[in-house]
Chains A and B, each alone.
Chain A
């Protein structure tokens, strides 16, 4: 049972970013950004405070009925997750250059 749930969660995590670009409700977009954020947190120790802020702001805007702002913030959060991922990749290749020999 647990494994089944895990598989579903994994499936969602895999599917979410793909379906993200398409339609869907703003709530779903926020959910996708949150899932992407959590997924990255599991994969690496990199996370940015601004991403959490964007997700929180998106939820707040949605609650206040500002769908357009909420959607933009959700997309911002997704962009930030992607930028974080890129940073992690670049750094894994360059950090050793800073070590004095």
Chain B
């Protein structure tokens, strides 16, 4: 009985970090995929090779965007903040799904 309880507690303690790690991994796949986020075309990030420099390097994202919603909004439609940006509005133009954007935000927050 005690053992079971312990393992249950262990599992619940482990699940959420695992789930986040999973989302980060998924987010990275989306961000790096040429057909999906294709972030490397413009951004230096996370040891990616042959990255572009048309956008700023992506690092210390949590420090740069303490408000997670702001970072999400920047991916969803960056033209709202700056109509002259060349960054695609991934949400407004349906390039990524809402769930995919969430995963990318999780990933960016890990950088």
Please report A residues at the B interface, Cβ cutoff 8 Å: 76, 79-80, 83, 86-87, 90, 94, 97-98
Please report B residues at the A interface, Cβ cutoff 8 Å: 79, 83-84, 92-94
Q: A68 to B91, alpha carbons, bound, how many Å?
A: 23
Count of CB-CB pairs between chains A and B under 8 Å: 16
Q: A88 to B93, alpha carbons, bound, how many Å?
A: 12
Partner of B94, one of A76, A90, A97, A98: A76
State whether A80 touches B79 (Cβ < 8 A): no
User: A97-B84, A98-B84 known; A90 and B93 CB under 8 Å?
Assistant: no
Q: A86 to B84, alpha carbons, bound, how many Å?
A: 16
Q: Taking each of B79, B83, B93, B94, which has the highest tally of chain A beta carbons within 10 Å of its own beta carbon?
A: B94
Which chain B positions have C-beta within 8 A of A87? 92-93
